[in-house]
Amino acid sequence: MASTTIGARIRKEAVRIIEDNTDGIRFSDLLRQIRETDSSFNRNYIVGILRDLHTRVDNVEKPSPGLYRIVSTDPERQSTAVQATSGIRENQFYTPFAAWLENDVEDVTKAIPLGGKLFKDKWGTPDVIGIREPRQGDIVKAPIEIVSAEIKTSTYDLIKAFGQVCAYCIFSHKSYLVVPLNAKPADKSRLDSLCQVFGIGFVLFDSKQPEDPKFEIWMRPKKQDPDLYYTNMYLRMIEPKLFP
């Protein structure tokens, strides 16, 4: 009986803490805060309670590994995502990211902003595209590589953005997904896992500061072999821009 009472107290305290963290809370932080509430709780017993908390408590969910969150019953909250800061346009980040690709990670020798519907098909146009060519001083000359990126300042429908990046892999050797740092932890965790599976680069940035976005790479892209038919088809459309 005592064990059941303690378990109920731990669950009650866990739910209270999760409710105070609207974007969710990680396992380690939840465990720490429960132990701070009552030091008499046994650590291993708390761990056991938390492992199946989302299956024992109806309004608690685990949207990604190690993340606990209250299931929202507010339709407006469920359908409304964090939007980009008013007055800041997505294309303001294209040139800074192109420069970051060239100078910070040196994945390209030249990058240019694109966006819009320049490629004129339903598969989309990268926001930034770059090319990596062998440099004059290179002893071993590497083959030319194409690098593409999709940038989102809004956290709405990030899974669609991921799908767009996947489409770029058909003509690019490397592709990046670039999303706001303030995206929901569950979304970032899931995108991070997807990018690992598909070999896509994952970058976070400050979507409120076009002058200093502070691009932070979470995962570097893996080099892949594109379909050169599509590579040549799309590059012909921007040849004067990328190969002046």
DSSP string, 26-53: EHHHHHHHHHHH-TTS-HHHHHHHHHTH
pLDDT at 82: 42
The pLDDT value recorded for residue 73 is 55
Count CA atoms within 13 Å of residue 50 on its CB side. Answer: 27
Q: pTM score > 0.75 for this model?
A: no
Pairing between β-strand 60-64 and β-strand 67-70 as defined by DSSP bridges: antiparallel
- C-alpha span between 39 and 168 (Å, rounded): 52
pLDDT given for residue 156 in this prediction: 80
Q: Among residues of the chain, what percentage have pLDDT more than 90?
A: 50
Q: What are the phi and psi torsion angles at 203 (to 5°)?
A: -130, 135
Low-confidence ranges of the chain (pLDDT < 50): 1, 75-85
pLDDT of residue 241: 84
Look at residue 72 in the predicted model and tell me its pLDDT. Answer: 66
Whose CA is closest to 101, among 153, 135, 148? Answer: 148
CA–CA distances in Å: residue 34 to residues 3, 29, 60, 61: 16, 9, 16, 18
Q: Which two tokens stand for residue 139?
A: 């002893």
